[in-house]
Structure 1
């Protein structure tokens, strides 16, 4: 009986608790209540707008109309301040003919370097209703230009419809084109030269990347870390299935290629470009140099119409862009003893790449607005207010992505019981929750840089937790397989132990009676 009791004690007191402890799924405590309370659609960004006019009535009327134009957009909280222009500044703005000099005058009176702050300033000598440059200043002519001014603020500067799409789970047209949020990107320029023996190309790809692409991304260093690379790819012959068309150009002909055929080129480039050398996303820029025998190549759209552009190029959403280098007839003239030399027009080609990069990173093209003028870019650097637009866009997009990852992870944990959450994953989830709350509060206060930085931290932490490989550790060993293994192991042992429990209990009940009888005797 003592042996039976020892077996029972060993299995029930030690064996079962030990088995239970060693087979339990380890999960740290997570803030499920906070995750379930997240509402992506509730996030908004506060931004400051200062209206300065020649008189109080004009300032009040313009401010009121702007406020009315944005009242239906909960994604943006316009904090409008109105005032009268100082007399000396008003006289300067009325006497200066050049708008750039007028912007400098405004910059001398007000701080234009602050992110998330825009100045709307009245300037009577304007030839248009509204003028917008590269700084955080918008000029308007008079109160009659208020409607045009509201359109400029809505469609060019703040873009509330794009911000709504950034915090939504449904991708809009701009979101389908731009790259997803991230800490950094690789920008790789590939110069594709299929027939180097027929044409010599004079191009320093490294200097071109540093001078043009580098100058552009330097202004976006507060958003992302960019790594610039360049490479040459030779003997990559691609069959465009182009059709020779006679024309009146200097060549006397051109080669027509259908637009839908061009994306097959990306597959060939992916096989040779070797750009997947890092976990960071890669922005691909490819200059495809056409051989003289197949130049010039002209793109035709789906309606079989020639794409009229100084440079023949196309862009692939979330991949990059391709520019076709068409040498001129004079560049292809050669004798039997020499190989022709071509120097690509770098400003035109790199300007096309910059335009593609702008759209891939989230800077949208500006549609024409009657009565409004946006100053053309005089350099490759983005406009100051475009950087603010990107900061607002990425802040909401990163918050939405972090919330989506946290909601999905919490749902998976509720549906699949044997997912392990170790201390490292738990720390990432808690950091994502805390950073999301802080980013939302900073955005509501109008602290744009702090909101962006914190939302990026939340996005990276949520992404790291959701993609953690340790979450998959026990998914191949579900509960039914666990019981299928342990029951055949424990059941044969438990049968004699359980059957002996009856005799053991009877023995334990009789033992005090026997001891009492012995004492009486």
Structure 2
């Protein structure tokens, strides 16, 4: 009986050992990997190596230029020796991590019969129109016609002509060094009408180390898919002034042609409003000598904040908002003038704030108060007002007045207010800016995800990153090929995809749930189950170790 009881006890002990080993095996082999897999952070693969290579990207910008020589512009032997193509490489010396090289790809040819006939007819504007009818000019390209030195197309004291389109004219020279001097004049035309270092420096103002923290008042608007323009009439004293302005007609005749020319750079919408009892927030000072009030230059920055709270357009817009304010001063502070830093009145009686908009003070004619009952009816001269606002709009977009070469004739901007080649310069600037912004965004995202390993990376975020990298590479390729419009479209796609990936809400879901907190949550759940298993394994190990030592003592 004792032997049978001892055998049953040994059998139960062995069964207990097998059960403990089974539970331990299941927990370690199956449970632990399954728990680790189901609680790990999902991270889709990203092109980290390609993103790191973007900072070392060497950007090559091709500028196609066609130089057409009339048959009387050079000696016949010089025309026969004209090269087919000449590429002038210019490295843009900007302190930026991405190297930028500009290639002026010049193609030389002799004028065709149709072009020769057109160059002998009418004025230079008529000749330009006739030449443009027979040929298409791609965005970013430039055509320079070298005409006869004795041609009557240009006045005698003028050497060159720059038109509103992508066309220029230069007088030829009949002597041995003519080609050299013509080349110098072509460079002057290119520096005016085409891509230059100043254009790229303004576009990369936020990305250049030497410009950060500087107060550059000409810093243009950031590139965006769209903009909203708001024209506001401020009437702080409606009891004294009954102001009327034809803003719809002014927008239709002056602003809309300008915006139609800029439509390729983004969608631009326009609205207007009238605000009563809207004060500037700064008390003007009275000048006894002129019996007028004035706003000093140092007080102008304090004018915007009190008014901006009443505009209300920026809070409801997804795009940057440009505010143009027409302020009719109250009767107690009329007339009101703006002074510059030297204390002299500003001719336009207006000022602009970079990346915000502009304000113009519109004084009422003092003669309107003679024998008139209040409120005085005021009809705003919209021609004068729109001239100021359009000039400010050009500055806000970074379209400054070009520096014309000496002895150069230019008819000025067309009715739309913009030269075609000015729009090309803006597209170049926006393309390079978008490229720099997308590269910086992707680099920051890559560094963030590399440092914090528990951030979730979903497949849609990864696809946006891949799409942004491909768009940046396409932009660089299109710029190297001289395709400005397709390069600009690809750069917009790069910025959009990179910002979608960077600001995706899913990246923040587990940002504050690191691994140590994960173990702190799960250990109290697993510890009550793990302690009996571990104690059983320790007991089994000790018994096995004791059984191994018993035979040695018998010997």
Q: Normalization by structure 1: what TM-score?
A: 0.87
| Cα contact 2:217–2:353 (8 A) shared by 1 | no
CA distance in 1, matches of 2:449, 2:321: 32
CA distance in 2, matches of 1:109, 1:163: 33
Give the 5 Å matches for 1:129-168. Answer: 129-143=159-173, 144=181, 146-163=183-200, 166=203
Give the 5 Å matches for 1:282-361. Answer: 282-307=321-346, 309=347, 311-336=348-373, 338-361=374-397
- Which residue of 2 is the match for residue 194 of structure 1? 236
Give the 5 Å matches for 1:1-16. Answer: 1=16, 2-16=18-32
Decide which of 202, 213, 224 is 2:255's aligned counterpart.
213
1:121 aligns with 2:121: no
- Which residue of 2 is the match for residue 264 of structure 1? 302
Classify 1:349/1:40 alpha carbon distance in 2 versus 1 (closer, same or farther; 3 Å).
farther
| Cα contact 1:333–1:340 (8 A) shared by 2 | no
Classify 1:165/1:499 alpha carbon distance in 2 versus 1 (closer, same or farther; 3 Å).
farther
- Which residue of 2 is the match for residue 516 of structure 1? none
Instruction: For residue 163 of structure 1, report the CA deviation from its aligned partner.
Output: 2.1
Classify 1:428/1:312 alpha carbon distance in 2 versus 1 (closer, same or farther; 3 Å).
same
| Cα contact 2:336–2:361 (8 A) shared by 1 | yes
Larger mean CA deviation between 417-426 and 201-210 belongs to 201-210
- Which residue of 2 is the match for residue 86 of structure 1? 112
Q: Deviations over 1:19-49 (max 9, x none)?
A: 3123211111111111111136512221211
Classify 1:485/1:374 alpha carbon distance in 2 versus 1 (closer, same or farther; 3 Å).
farther
| Unmatched 5+ stretches in structure 1 | 512-521
| Cα contact 1:199–1:332 (8 A) shared by 2 | no
CA distance in 2, matches of 1:162, 1:174: 14
CA distance in 2, matches of 1:66, 1:150: 13
SS at match of 1:71: strand
Q: Deviations over 1:241-277 (max 9, x none)?
A: 3222245xxxx53322111211212111221111121
Classify 1:214/1:108 alpha carbon distance in 2 versus 1 (closer, same or farther; 3 Å).
closer
SS at match of 1:228: strand
- Which residue of 1 is the match for residue 520 of structure 2? 484
Larger mean CA deviation between 269-278 and 287-296 belongs to 287-296
Instruction: For residue 64 of structure 1, report the CA deviation from its aligned partner.
Output: 11
CA distance in 2, matches of 1:288, 1:145: 51
- Which residue of 1 is the match for residue 11 of structure 2? none
Classify 1:67/1:423 alpha carbon distance in 2 versus 1 (closer, same or farther; 3 Å).
closer
Instruction: For residue 145 of structure 1, report the CA deviation from its aligned partner.
Output: 5.8
SS at match of 2:203: helix
1:277 aligns with 2:307: no
Classify 1:494/1:105 alpha carbon distance in 2 versus 1 (closer, same or farther; 3 Å).
same
| Cα contact 2:472–2:490 (8 A) shared by 1 | yes
Give the 5 Å matches for 1:240-251. Answer: 240-246=282-288
SS at match of 1:110: coil
SS at match of 1:150: helix
Classify 1:15/1:141 alpha carbon distance in 2 versus 1 (closer, same or farther; 3 Å).
same
| Cα contact 2:261–2:416 (8 A) shared by 1 | no
Classify 1:166/1:60 alpha carbon distance in 2 versus 1 (closer, same or farther; 3 Å).
farther
SS at match of 1:162: helix
1:182 aligns with 2:224: yes
Classify 1:165/1:244 alpha carbon distance in 2 versus 1 (closer, same or farther; 3 Å).
closer
Classify 1:83/1:360 alpha carbon distance in 2 versus 1 (closer, same or farther; 3 Å).
same
| Cα contact 1:209–1:229 (8 A) shared by 2 | no
| Cα contact 1:75–1:164 (8 A) shared by 2 | no
Runs of 4+ residues over 4 Å off in structure 1: 55-68, 143-146, 171-176, 504-511
CA distance in 1, matches of 2:485, 2:507: 33
Q: Normalization by structure 2: what TM-score?
A: 0.82
| Cα contact 2:250–2:383 (8 A) shared by 1 | no
- Which residue of 1 is the match for residue 537 of structure 2? 501
Classify 1:508/1:79 alpha carbon distance in 2 versus 1 (closer, same or farther; 3 Å).
farther
SS at match of 1:77: strand
Q: Deviations over 1:370-399 (max 9, x none)?
A: 323433224234211111111211111111
| Cα contact 1:166–1:175 (8 A) shared by 2 | no
1:474 aligns with 2:510: yes
Instruction: For residue 433 of structure 1, report the CA deviation from its aligned partner.
Output: 1.0
SS at match of 1:177: coil
Decide which of 115, 121, 125 is 1:100's aligned counterpart.
125
| Cα contact 2:369–2:376 (8 A) shared by 1 | yes
Classify 1:204/1:34 alpha carbon distance in 2 versus 1 (closer, same or farther; 3 Å).
same
Classify 1:492/1:365 alpha carbon distance in 2 versus 1 (closer, same or farther; 3 Å).
farther
| Cα contact 1:41–1:167 (8 A) shared by 2 | no
Instruction: For residue 157 of structure 1, report the CA deviation from its aligned partner.
Output: 2.9
